[in-house]
Amino acid sequence: MDTFAERVRTVLRSLEPGQVVSYGDVAAEAGRPGAGRGVGQVLAGAGDALPWWRVVYG
């Protein structure tokens, strides 16, 4: 079974160029609605390996 962090990485890697999503959108797509802070934690540890610039508050 995939961990939440792995699912977040999958969601973020599937974003199209120019697409912007919220932390909550990513959390919901990764199977944990309401876990926006968890998405932030995954991004904080990823450096530039994930497109953090496409994730916004709101």
DSSP state of 56: E
Distance CA 15, CA 13 (A): 6
Q: Which of 2, 12, 1, 16 minimizes the C-alpha distance to 45?
A: 12
Residue span of the structural domain in which 36 resides: 4-56
pLDDT given at position 1: 67
Render each residue's pLDDT in the chain as its tens digit; 58 residues: 689 999 999 999 999 999 999 999 999 999 999 999 999 999 999 999 999 999 999 8
Count of structural domains, the chain: 1
- Evaluate the CA torsion angle 14, 34, 22, 54 in order and state its sign: negative
pLDDT given at position 6: 98
pLDDT given at position 2: 87
What CATH number does the domain containing 39 carry?
A: 1.10.10.10
Question: Is there a contact between 37 and 55 (Cβ–Cβ < 8 Å)?
Answer: no
